[in-house]
Structure 1
Amino acid sequence: MHVGPFVFRPGRWPTLVTITLLPLLIALGFWQIDRAHQKEALIADRESAAAAPALQLNAGLPRPEAGLHRLARATGRYDSEHQFLLDNQTRDGVPGYRIITPLRLEGSDAAVLVDRGWVAAPPRRSQLPDVTVDATTRTVHGRLGDGPSVGLRLGDAYHGDGSWPRRIQYLDFDALVPSLPYTVPPYLLRTGAAAKKARPETMRFGPRRHYGYAVQWFALATALLVIYIGVNTRLKGRHERD
């Protein structure tokens, strides 16, 4: 191909490499843009939920899709005999557990799982912390969530002899809820600092970083195309001498 004083004559291998990598780089850029849009929608949903009035769980348990990230309050009694200890939860480098306790709702046969906070692990792995809580009636305020995120789910959520409290590796409501003698919805009422987080646990970073990654992928695609054209283009005189 002749373009003014230049001759464009692509080689076989540069062409194969370019037609393989260029669509991939472009696709990765658009994938990052799509991820950014998903994060923006997630943030918008979270902000909308935070602005909504607090749910009264004693009046009825909402569906997960309608209740997640909403402020909520519940009145009832903690079931100290059926508690879960979520393992591998560190704080300032100290290993520990998050205490997950069912709150038996007053005037209802159901309960809601409450994330009561963090506790340090005893020195020995065979020991469990004392997480006993009295059964007085109380009103718990917090935010509904789906629990701490999990990178890889290796094996079952629970291993043990059936005793309580139960040490669990991750939250799997389908596996844990059947062990309780009452109805429990598949979400947590998170109290304290966990309820004040501005973003869901699943969000490691916001949409701006995804847009930044998209720019990087598109820049690589552009650089590949420029290099491909550059290495395969010669001046007419030079081409004739070569």
Structure 2
Amino acid sequence: MLATALTLMVIAGFVRLGFWQLHSAAEKRSLMAQHALNRQSTVDLTPTNAGTLSRYQRVRLRGRYDSRHQILLDNMPSNSSAHPGQPGYRVLTPFALEQGGWLLIDRGWLASGPTRAVVPAVDVGTTPRELTGLLSHLPRAGVQLDQSAIAAEGSWPRVLNFPQQATLERVLSRPLLPGMVLLDPQAVDGYERVWEIRFSIGPARHIAYAVQWFALAAAALCIYLVLIYRHYRSR
């Protein structure tokens, strides 16, 4: 009886994990559909709604760049077929909204210089303009390290590794609206831009994991039945 109870518990656990993976796959498909829908409509971004819009919402904003204080995100891989996976920089430029407030614009990926000591020039015009792009969040490291030691003072553009919002506000000496905007690939004054909707685990992998859990449940059941059969046959 104990063996039967333990076997049923193990099988139930495997089945539950399988259905959990199927549920996760359905959630990811729903998110991907919502992101695709968000990209089809454009919303005017303001200081009021910046923190309420969904990720990958296509937005329109008006204002001007601050060319003197730019951030280079270090060790960022290229997403293009021309430089697949090549490390470089992503250029973040502060943008002053005409309604007030500052937001970071990701102007794209740029190859690093011949040596780490050579920082590429990323100057951009500061005349008022209208931009469109996708609302997103800052790239995140797998493990967040303490960034309190990063100095607020330094030369520009500043090279940083996976900076957090608070770090950027301290370095730029100004509050920032949440997130950032991925500049449209067709927009001027940008670099290489191949924006992809990515998940750490996509729907297909969730389904593959579900199949594995269900297979383990089936294997456990088969082993149990074989052992029971042999037990009663030997009597």
TM normalised by structure 1 equals: 0.77
The 1:67/1:27 distance shift into structure 2, 3 A limit, reads closer
Equivalents in 2 of 1:158, 1:86: separation in Å?
Answer: 17
Match of 1:148 in 2: 139
Equivalents in 2 of 1:178, 1:62: separation in Å?
Answer: 23
Identity %: 34
Q: Which moved more, 1:61-70 or 1:87-96?
A: 61-70
The structure whose Rg is larger is 1
Equivalents in 2 of 1:169, 1:18: separation in Å?
Answer: 49
Match of 2:61 in 1: 74
TM normalised by structure 2 equals: 0.79
Structure 1: runs of 5+ lacking an equivalent: 1-9
Report how far residue 17 of structure 1 moved.
7.1
Match of 2:176 in 1: 184
More helix per residue: 1 or 2?
1
Match of 1:117 in 2: 108
The alignment yields a C-alpha RMSD, in angstroms, of 3.0
Aligned AA for 1:117? G
| 1:29 corresponds to 2:18 | yes
SS in 1 for 2:124: coil
* Pairs within 5 Å for 1:27-66: 27-52=16-41, 54-57=42-45, 60-66=47-53
| 1:126 corresponds to 2:117 | yes
SS in 1 for 2:159: strand
SS in 1 for 2:86: coil
Aligned AA for 1:227? I
Paired residues of 1:142 and 1:195 also in contact (CA < 8 A): no
User: Could you tell me which of 111, 132, 135 is aligned with 2:126?
Assistant: 135
* Pairs within 5 Å for 1:214-225: 214-225=210-221
How many equivalent pairs are there? 223
SS in 2 for 1:72: strand
The 1:119/1:235 distance shift into structure 2, 3 A limit, reads closer
Structure 2: runs of 5+ lacking an equivalent: 186-191
Report how far residue 120 of structure 1 moved.
1.1
SS in 1 for 2:134: strand
